Amino acid sequence: MVEDFPMATEEIRRAMPRTLCAVRKRRSVRDGLEAAHFLASVWEGSLLITLVYSKPIDAEEWLKEAREVCQEIGERVELVGRSKGAVARTGRDHVVETYEVGDDKRLLSYKHTEGAFSNPNRDVTIATMEFLCSCARGFGAADASLLEMYCGNGNHTCALASVFKRILAVEINPKLVDAARESCAMNGVTNAEIVLADSQNVSKRLTRGQFTDATGASVSPKDFAAVLVDPPRAGLDDDTLKLVAEFDHVLYVSCGPENFFRNFEAGMAKTHAIERFIILDHFPYTQHVEIAAYMKRVV
């Protein structure tokens, strides 16, 4: 029997046994329940719990009991019920997290949507932002533009917007694109364009000179001083790696260190040097480790 989950936030730790107790008392939220997913905001103290079912739920009956469950668990709690072909919500389907970044404790807020990826470790998320900003300032990015691949919910985009003159950010997940645009709006970022697209296709089009921005203007790799990539654990595909190798300044965040070094050896080892490198334990208590590196062209 697992009695506690000490690596989680206090909000999640308190809510777990309360959720189990509250759900057991109510048939409509109990029957067919397979899993409970927890998403918390440390800054605002809110909690979103997704209950996943193996059989269809009756949305009306589920909502009635789910609201009772929310009241029993505590304040600032919302529930989402998911079964095949049905989704029910007691309120919003996201939380908003705010980070204090840099020595000046600049506040940046982000929308973390249920069912979409968000960084699990608050302190390491801040450390990642600060590392990227420090690297960019180091190579003089104030009057330069940044191409960002795999931008997610705009975590790095908003942090780097004050460092670069312009950012063109690419993300394939529509939920994350919407979240990134909302995050930009929340943080007053007006110099970033979020593009819904596959990075591999964007890389091909940029290489061929066939990519255009929101204004219809043609865009090429020469329009950017630097590129930032934060790919899935498998690393960069061949087309994106070929594009990335064209840049003088490369920022790479990787949750698969082996694939990062494979990409480096295959695409940049002969032309770039690793100037700065950091280990970021985004996933404590697991075997996974994340790293970030800044690479500069030397040839």
Average the pLDDT over 52-81 and give the result. Answer: 95
Q: In the predicted model, is pLDDT for residue 255 greater than 90?
A: no
**Domain 101-297 part of CATH 3.40.640.10:** no
Tell me if the pTM is above 0.75.
yes
pLDDT digits 0-9 by tens, 112-152: 989 888 888 999 999 999 999 999 999 987 889 999 999 99
Tell me which of 130, 151, 255, 258 is the catalytic residue.
255
Numbered ranges of CATH 2.40.50.1070 in the chain: 10-92
Mean per-residue pLDDT over the chain, rounded: 93
290 is catalytic: yes
pLDDT digits 0-9 by tens, 9-49: 999 999 999 999 999 999 999 999 999 999 999 999 999 99
Q: In the predicted model, is pLDDT for residue 207 greater than 90?
A: no
Tell me which of 11, 65, 97, 290 is the catalytic residue.
290
255 is catalytic: yes
Q: What is the pLDDT of residue 233?
A: 85
Q: What percent of the chain stands above pLDDT 70?
A: 100
**Domain 10-92 part of CATH 2.40.50.1070:** yes
Q: Which residue has the tokens 């009695």?
A: 3
Numbered ranges of CATH 3.40.50.150 in the chain: 101-297
